[in-house]
A = this chain, B = another copy of it.
Amino acid sequence: MRPPVLDLRALQSLVAILDTASFTRAAEQLNYSQSAISMQIKRLEAELGTRLIERGSVLRPTRQGRQALGHAREMLRLNSELRQRVAESEVAGRVRLGMPADFAFYLPDTLTVFAERYPQVETEVRTELSDALVRSVAAGEIDLAIVTRQAHSPGGTRLRREPLKWVGAPGSAAHRQEPLPLALYPENTCEFRQAATRRLDAIGRAWRPAYVSQAFAALHSPVSAGLAVTVATPSMLGAHLEILDEDATGLPPLPEVDIAMHRRPGRLGYAARQLADLLVERLRTTGEPGASVTP
């Protein structure tokens, strides 16, 4: 009738037993009597209808025990995380975060998660050029800055590196227009776009800033309508846009860009540290997809 649930304390004991390889030590660790541990496991095994621990001179999990162990660990982790999250929603404070204008559309998910998790924290976002942000963060005017990596600006943690690509609407011929119509943030506001225009100049391809705006929507519309092209990294790409192949379009290849985080000097407040951790967690690229090799 009701989905049967296991006793988390018993799972906790199971984990402790297999970690310490001893009922007795698990009991000490968890502040139970040895018999309590023994009974908990007995009940757990009865509930699951199978033996979980192979008793002997050395304790080993059975296959079922190994299955259970992984899930038990994860459940206990979630248990602590739940407690912490609930407790943290009391955390108050203030975080000042800086990012280039074009990141304002890259991070909102993460900022939403943060705002949800720490509803009492005031988050103040400032948008400036990357190098200005690096100075601001060094001066302690803001706590954190997400910037495109400046080769000459040391410090900061690299979060990810992504290729920069030409982007347009599927099927659009905007990239064949002469001069090339670009949707741009205002001059000097966006380094990606500076990189792009410099490469166009280098190959002698004419271009014009067909759409210039600080507002995201005002730039997105002409691109998805096929009236202009722009540049973005693959992970910034949405469903309505596609990467334009450089060979097929004759557009110049674009460099890779680094995305890095800078922290202001001194000890950050708790809220700022949590935001920093969250940004690292959500932006850091994951490892290589495959692990095996085939000839």
Contacts and interface: CB of A to CB of B under 8 A. Distances in A.
A59 interface: no
B89 A67 contact: yes
A86 B106 CA distance: 42
A183 interface: yes
Given A2-B30, A2-B31, A76-B5, A293 B237 contact: yes
B12 A3 contact: yes
B234 A290 contact: yes
A290 B30 contact: no
A289 interface: yes
A83 B48 contact: yes
Contacts of A220: 293-295
Contacts of A25: none
Given A30-B2, A289-B235, A293-B241, A68 B82 contact: yes
19 contacts: A2-B30, A2-B31, A4-B83, A5-B79, A48-B87, A50-B89, A52-B86, A64-B89, A71-B78, A71-B82, A78-B78, A105-B292, A109-B292, A183-B295, A220-B294, A232-B295, A235-B289, A237-B290, A238-B290
A170 to B, nearest CB: 13
A12 B1 contact: no
Interface string A169-201: 000000000000001110000000000000000
Contacts of A50: 86, 89-90
Interface in A237-265: 237-241
A191 to B, nearest CB: 13
Interface of A: 1-9, 12, 29-32, 48-50, 52, 63-64, 66-68, 71-72, 74-76, 78-83, 85-87, 89-90, 102, 105-106, 108-109, 116-117, 119, 183-185, 211, 216, 219-220, 223-224, 230, 232, 234-241, 288-295
Identical chains in the assembly: 2
A295 B215 CA distance: 10
B72 A82 contact: yes
B293 A236 contact: yes
Nearest to A69: B82
Contacts of A292: 105-106, 108-109, 236, 238
Contacts of A116: 63, 66
A71 B189 CA distance: 41
Contact of A230 (B49, B237, B295): B295
Max count, chain B CB within 10 A of own CB: residue among A66, A68, A78, A108? A78
* CB-CB nearest 8 A-B residue pairs: A238-B293, A219-B295, A235-B290, A71-B82, A5-B8, A67-B85, A230-B295, A105-B294
